[in-house]
Amino acid sequence: MADITEIRELAQKLNLWNIARGYIDLNDEKLSNLDYLKMVLEKELEIRARQKHTKLRKASKLPNKAFDASNSNKGLKWQIKQLSNLTWLKEEQNLILLGKCGTGKTGLAAQLGETAISNGHKTYYAPFDNFIAVAEKKATNPKAEAIFSYMQECDLIIIDDVFYVEPTRAELQVFYRAVTFLNETRSIIFITNRELSAWIDAAEDKHLCQTLLDRMTVNCQIVRLTDK
């Protein structure tokens, strides 16, 4: 049987302060069914949570990809299970998802992004080329400025296809500045099919590339996906 304390706690979560603070005395209102009122308030919270999830999911630009862990080895399954509790996100750690094409890196990132959104975390996904374009044009293009501003509000940013194609010196500089700025107070998932040791060989500016890797990996978990 619901009591008035439970009703007021729910009202407080809904910012219904007249009920929460007792300005509206539920006893004086002579409600015959407090359980019904409790159900109404719980339903309101449920609807708001669902609407928030839909809004965050749409804004995230996450791809509609799924990760199939059925053929993964025990070590990877354990690692994914641990990542699903989002401790790494709360601690503002980065993730690097590393593996050949077709190993499910983007699907796993999307799954982790969905989990983050379900827990109320703003998330944004961008392929490397799109991320660079936004970072380059944020000062001159209103759309790019809006996207970059949203990324600043996010708890998690996912960047796909990093070093899939060797970046130019200018692209590497833009990427370094943007990642350094954004990585201060949030987590970033980097998705790459190139071994980190090969990044430096592929970069024109090897010193900058090494500095970038140092920043990315200082508080980071590396998840290696293999062919099934």
Q: What is the pLDDT along the chain (228 residues), one digit of tens a residue?
A: 667 788 888 888 888 777 777 766 666 555 556 776 777 778 788 888 888 999 999 999 999 998 988 888 888 999 999 999 999 999 999 999 999 998 999 999 999 999 999 999 999 999 999 999 999 999 999 999 999 999 999 999 999 999 998 899 999 999 999 999 999 899 999 999 999 989 988 888 999 999 999 999 989 999 999 875
The pLDDT assigned to 99 comes to: 92
- What contacts 24+ positions apart, CB below 8 Å, involve 113-117? 113/60, 113/62, 113/156, 113/158, 113/189, 114/57, 114/62, 115/84, 115/86, 116/86, 116/89, 116/155, 116/156, 117/53, 117/56, 117/57, 117/60, 117/62
Q: Which pair of tokens denotes residue 79?
A: 């690692």
Give yes or no for a contact between 19 and 11, defined as CB atoms under 8 angstroms apart: yes
Q: Which pair of tokens denotes residue 62?
A: 């996450």
Which homologous superfamily is 72-222 in? Answer: P-loop containing nucleotide triphosphate hydrolases (3.40.50.300)
Q: Which residues of 142-180 are buried (b: 16+ CB within 10 A; e: fewer)?
A: eebeebbebbeebbbbbbbbbbeeebeeebbebbbebbe
pTM, two decimals, is 0.84
DSSP 62-115: --S-----TTS-HHHHHHHHHHTTTHHHHTT-EEEEE--TTSSHHHHHHHHHHH
| Residue 103 Cα distances to 34, 45, 122, 129, 191, angstroms | 53, 39, 26, 21, 11
